[in-house]
Amino acid sequence: MRLFSSLLCLLLSTVACAGPEPAAKPRSELAAPTTEALAVRAAGAPQELLPNGILTDSGLLLGGQPTLAQLEAARSQGYTTVVNLRTPEEGGPSAEEVEALGLAYHSLPVAGVQGLTEENARTLAEILDQADGPTIVHCASGNRVGALLALEAWYVDGMEPAAALELGRESGMARLEPAVRQILGVQERATG
């Protein structure tokens, strides 16, 4: 679906040739795919490296809570940085355990809807900008990851609200979509 959307956008931009500047791209899409990301994609491994694993074109790996063994496998694939959106009470590998694997570790606790803030979106953007290599962003399931990336795309990258919402869905957002819709001011589509 994403490939189709990208091809359609390319076709439309070619046909239009003139018009407004396209919306800013989120950080997760700015860089060309890394060699490591291409290797992970070729192996079909995003799901093996993270529960609900999603691999972006730039090599950003998104999903649920990895085990230490999965983090070690991700490191062997070239990943260098882990961003944990879980709160300390939720458990999972500690900063010390992750760093012992040779990975940089960042904790950015996002406690559900209350954690969906402009400040957290901007902090995530800073962490991603400063990361030295391919990065993993995880929570428990990937839901908070997608929600925070949608807000980062809107607050930081200036993406249109509907496009930011779609990016969030593609990045793992599910149950938090109503809250993100409200923040972005995107109305639910009427069904009938």
* Domain boundaries, given as residue ranges, for the chain: 27-184
**Tokens representing 89?**
């009470």
- Distance CA(56)–CA(3), nearest Å, equals 12
pLDDT in tens, the chain (192 residues): 443 344 334 333 333 333 333 344 455 454 444 555 555 554 556 777 888 899 887 778 999 999 999 999 999 888 999 999 999 999 889 999 999 999 999 999 999 999 999 999 999 999 999 999 899 999 999 999 999 999 999 999 999 999 999 999 999 999 999 999 999 998 876 544
Return the SS3 of 32. coil
- Distance CA(101)–CA(71), nearest Å, equals 8
Q: The whole model's pTM is what? A: 0.78
Tell me if the domain spanning 27-184 has CATH number 3.90.190.10.
yes
